[in-house]
Structure 1
Amino acid sequence: MAVIAYELLCRDSRENRAIIKDGDQASSQVLLRTFTDLTITDVVGPHKAFINFTRNLLLTPPPFSRNQLVIEVLEDQLVDNRLLAALGQIRAQGYTIALDDFTLNSSSFKMLEYADIIKLDVLALNDQELRYHIKYLQPLGVTLLAEKIETHEMLEHCKDLGFELFQGYFLSHPQIMSGKSYSENRQTIIQLLATLNDPRTEIDKVEQLIAQDPVISYKLLKLINSAAFHFVCKIESLRQAITLLGLIQIRSWVTLLSMANIDDKPRELCVTTMVRARFCQTLGEAVTGTKRGDTYFTAGLLSTLDAFMDSPLEELLKKISISETLSEALLHYRGNEGEVLRIVMQYEKADWDAINWEFLEQRGVDESALSHFYTESLVWVTSALESMVFD
Structure 2
Amino acid sequence: MGTPDETLVPPASGKDEANVARIARQAIVDEARNVYGYELFDRSTAVNAHTAATDAALLFNALSYAGTEALVGKKTVFINCTHESLTGGHLELIHPDKVVLEVPPLGESATALDIEASLATFNALRQRGFRLAFDQNLLRRAYASWLPMASFIKLDMRRLSPADAEALVKFARSYTHAQIVAEKVETAEQFEHMRSLGIKLFQGFWFAQPQLVEARTIRPTQATIIQLINLVRQQASTDEIEELLKKDPTLSFNLLRFINSSGFGLSCEITSFRHAVMILGLKKLFRWAALLLTTSRTDGSPPAVGQTAVVRGRLMELLTSELLPPEECDNAFVVGVFSLLDVMLGQPMEKALASVALPQPVIDALVHNSGVFAPFLELTRACESGDEESFARAANALQLSNHQVNWAHLQALAWADNLALDVA
State the TM-score, normalized to the length of structure 2: 0.38
State the TM-score, normalized to the length of structure 1: 0.41
Ranked by relative contact order (alpha carbons within 8 Å, sequence separation 6 or more), the top structure is: 2
